[in-house]
Amino acid sequence: MAEFQNPDHWDTAAQHYEKTAHPFTARYAEAALARVALTSGSRVLDVAAGTGALTLLAARTGAQVLATDFSPGMIARIAASNLPNVEARVMDGQALALEDASFDAVFSIFGVIMFPGWRKGLAEMARVTRTGGHGVIATWREHGAATFLLLGQIRRKLFPDREGMMMPEAVKALSEPADFARELIAAGYRDPRIEPVTHEYMLDLSALAEPDSLFGMSPDWTSLDATEKDAVITEARQMAGEREFLPIPSTALIAVAQR
């Protein structure tokens, strides 16, 4: 089992993820929400919700939001928000314990793409979307984003003969809009619209003083020895030059489809 498919990994990472990845992924969640009109009467599902970047933003519309994730640690972070219109439940997105056609909008922001059975995850999203409702899915392009993207770039430069981190199968499979659209239609959606969205992840160079906290979620980091890690840090500092922040442009594809 890949590390990112283990709920224990995400339980351990939840608090760190909430502080680092959550604010960045929230920018893409905001872009996803802008593509679907929600009201106080909307029923919304967030699949593989993480610490709730999409959930918390959707709740501001007044919609009733159910956040699901297979990691109890992630769900605990969402539940801690204590919002009256948010419910958080531990649930496998590949087998949602939910009724057919029960949600107006079903989102997965960089979530379903992590599933070993990601096609089943897409089909489950479609199953619980009501007729006329929308499914909204965000995926990274093939080389990932933010610190994962940076580490991959540095590793390919410094250690070209070393195998890097394997991205989840779905990230590669959905990296091109035509492929993404075809998979959404096969899952049960129709008329998919897919657009690239790019934001810059601003890496604070002071964070390199504690690189395990910054990069520790990536096998591209944990597989290195101490000397190699020092070389990566040196390369990142050289890339930044005199700047205090290193911008890392990160592109996602956001798909909206109807049921």
Let me know: does 220 contact 198? Beta carbons within 8 Å.
no
Let me know: does 32 contact 107? Beta carbons within 8 Å.
yes
245, two tokens: 């922040």
Q: What distance in Å separates the CA atoms of residue 230 and residue 224, rounded to the nearest whole number?
A: 10
For each of the chain's 259 residues, which pLDDT tens digit applies?
Answer: 455 555 555 555 555 665 667 789 999 999 999 999 999 999 999 999 999 999 999 999 999 999 999 889 889 989 999 999 999 999 999 999 999 999 999 999 999 999 999 999 999 999 999 999 999 999 998 778 888 899 989 989 999 888 766 778 999 999 999 999 999 999 999 999 999 999 999 999 998 998 987 887 787 888 899 999 999 999 999 999 999 999 999 999 999 999 9
- Residue 163: alpha-carbon gap to chain centroid: 23
- Residue 84: alpha-carbon gap to chain centroid: 25
Helix or strand holding residue 113 (H, E): none
Let me know: does 155 contact 97? Beta carbons within 8 Å.
no
90, two tokens: 């531990």
Using left for φ > 0, alpha for ψ between -120 and 50, and beta otherwise, residue 119 falls in alpha
Say whether 34 sits in a helix, a strand or coil. coil
Let me know: does 233 contact 170? Beta carbons within 8 Å.
no
Alpha helices in the chain (DSSP H): 7-33, 53-59, 72-79, 118-128, 146-158, 169-173, 177-187, 211-215, 219-222, 226-240
pTM of the model: 0.89
Let me know: does 108 contact 134? Beta carbons within 8 Å.
no
